Amino acid sequence: MSRHALWWLATVPLLPLALPLALHTRRTALRLPIAQGEPAGIAGAGLPGEPLRLLLIGESTVAGVGVTTFDQSLAGCLAEALAERLQRPVCWRACGENGITAAQAQERLLPLGLGEPADLALLVFGVNDTTHLTPSSRWLQALAAMSEALEGQGCRVAFSAVPPLQHFSALPWLLRQLMGWRASLLDRELRALAQRLGVLHCALDLPFEPAYLAEDGYHPSGQGYRCWAEGLAERLIPSLRRPA
Q: How far apart are CA 131 and CA 178, in angstroms?
A: 10
Q: How far apart are CA 95 and CA 113, in angstroms?
A: 7
Over residues 41-76, the pLDDT tens digits come to: 999 999 999 999 999 999 999 999 999 999 999 999
Q: How far apart are CA 179 and CA 70, in angstroms?
A: 28
Over residues 12-36, the pLDDT tens digits come to: 999 899 998 888 888 888 899 999 9
Phi/psi for 222 (5° steps) reads -60, -45
What integer pLDDT is reported at residue 239 of this predicted model?
84
140-149 average pLDDT score: 98
Angle at 99 between CA 221 and CA 103, to 5 degrees: 125
Phi/psi for 132 (5° steps) reads -85, 0
What integer pLDDT is reported at residue 205 of this predicted model?
82
CATH 3.40.50.1110 fits 18-28+35-241, yes or no: yes
Q: How far apart are CA 221 and CA 43, in angstroms?
A: 20
Single pTM value for the model:
0.94
Where in the chain are the domains? 18-28+35-241
